[in-house]
């Protein structure tokens, strides 16, 4: 079994790195596991533990879906949290101009559902996770910092390929291995 997910890798520009570093610096005393910018990605679908013999089926399905799709751009923008203001779990950068991304994700969800990878219960919200929150001692500080970047556009991201990734968890954080890459037109 392999722990798999489908994602778009994001190479952060300096403007994105600057906001990331500013948040990290201002929240240094909080218990947050920060994502290494080299691992920035937008998860389209977490497949979870997948039998090795099912990987070719998943590969073909994703390949068929993207075969007729054209590349497009999204805007990496906005900062927010998942969870509540009182019990935040995750800090993220969002995106705007993502109608095509939502349509691509919906196409993936429908087709993957047909082969046994159920749709998620929650709505798809395209985002790039930048930090996983273990404990926030100063919730007001967190909310102030998130509000500073709530409506900021960081960079344009060209969506021209998807990746099937394997996630291996270890004490230093997750390690991602590309299983396959699927290019859009």
What sections of 39-133 are H helices per DSSP? 55-66, 99-114
**Phi, psi (deg, nearest 5) at residue 36:** -65, 130
CB proximity list for 72: less than 8 A, separation 6 or greater: 100, 101, 158, 159, 184
Exactly one of 6, 127, 155, 164 is catalytic; which is it?
127
**41 tagged catalytic:** yes
Q: How far apart are CA 132 and CA 32, in angstroms?
A: 6
Exactly one of 3, 24, 41, 132 is catalytic; which is it?
41
**127 tagged catalytic:** yes
Structure tokens at 162: 């998807």
Which residues have a catalytic role annotated?
A: 41, 127
């Amino acid at each position: 079994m392999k722990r798999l997910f489908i994602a778009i890798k994001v190479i952060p520009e300096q403007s994105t790195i600057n906001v990331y570093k500013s948040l990290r610096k201002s929240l240094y005393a909080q218990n947050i596991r920060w994502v290494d910018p080299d691992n920035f990605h937008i998860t389209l679908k977490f497949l979870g533990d997948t039998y090795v013999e099912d990987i070719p089926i998943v590969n073909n399905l994703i390949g068929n879906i993207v075969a007729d799709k054209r590349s497009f751009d999204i805007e990496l923008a906005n900062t927010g949290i998942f969870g509540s203001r009182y019990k935040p779990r995750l800090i993220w950068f969002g995106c705007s101009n993502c109608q095509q991304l939502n349509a691509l994700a919906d196409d993936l969800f429908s087709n993957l559902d047909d082969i046994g990878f159920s749709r998620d219960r929650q709505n798809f919200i395209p985002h790039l996770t930048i930090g996983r929150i273990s404990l926030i001692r100063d919730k007001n500080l967190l909310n102030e910092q998130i509000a500073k970047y709530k409506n900021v556009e960081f960079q344009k991201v060209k969506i021209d390929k998807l990746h099937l990734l394997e996630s291996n968890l270890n004490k230093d954080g997750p390690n991602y291995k590309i299983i396959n890459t699927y290019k859009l037109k």
